[in-house]
A = this chain, B = another copy of it.
């Protein structure tokens, strides 16, 4: 694909932003990358590793960019959008990598109201236990999903440009509304994290918790892995996606109450049916999931 020379500014050069920079450049869609951030050590590492070509602590550096990827925690975006607003050229594409979308959409509206036609809220579904520029790699997004949640104001050609960039990184792009995004991720990601946190909280609150932990095995290990996730990050996600998450929590509590009633009434047939249907759905999901990777 031929294209005019293009400069990418990455605000927050961590695993997510750095990997996007590496992949977009490798794909030939980006010629120059400016890294913008607060940590000199991280920006220096990014320069040294060739993740970025230039670095700045000053958000004004977005003035030189054709595309700006804001890859910081969502909590920093209001301040950053405000700060970059005076420097953005008309036509500069602004996109993000936040894991919730209704709240980010509201931030775009509140803090970049004059720039909405060039804004594309987005959520790359990738991550790892590692973080920082040194963890960045061009292959991070290969076969990973990226959700784009364009605004009504987003120009079609701007959406298409962000779509093409992510596809060039190897990602499979899906477009949906911010509301649908948040409902889906509340159910398949945010809810299980909260269920796992609540479960470990329950066990560790027992009078002789260690006696219980001593007999926990591989089922426990896998079920609770996500309870080892980053507390601040999950606090922020739970707050950011509060409405959808409360819906899913209510739905789960109803589902668990139904199962509890089956145990209470010792309804063997209904219990087996529920387990069998869940098992079938899980086995089918897992086959598709592994085949897609």
Contact = CB atoms under 8 A, between A and B. Distances in A.
Nearest to A185: B215
B226 A188 contact: no
A182 B212 CA distance: 11
Q: Which label, helix, strand, loop or mixed, suits the secondary structure of the A interface?
A: helix
B199 A272 contact: no
Contacts of A238: 263, 271
A32 to B, nearest CB: 32
A235 interface: yes
* Smallest CB-CB A-B distances: 7 pairs: A231-B275, A204-B281, A202-B255, A200-B278, A231-B276, A188-B216, A235-B272
Contact of A259 (B201, B203, B216): B201
Contact of A251 (B202, B228, B257, B288): B202
A258 B205 CA distance: 13
A277 interface: yes
Contact of A223 (B206, B223, B258, B278): B223
Given A231-B272, A255-B202, A260-B246, A192 B219 contact: yes
Interface residues of A, number: 85
Interface string A189-204: 1011111111111111
A242 B260 CA distance: 10
B222 A203 contact: no
Contact of A252 (B187, B198, B232, B266): B198
Interface in A232-277: 232, 234-235, 238-239, 242, 245-246, 249-253, 255-260, 263-264, 266, 268, 271-272, 274-277
Nearest to A245: B263
A119 to B, nearest CB: 22
9 contacts: A184-B212, A188-B215, A195-B199, A199-B252, A200-B279, A201-B281, A221-B286, A222-B226, A253-B257
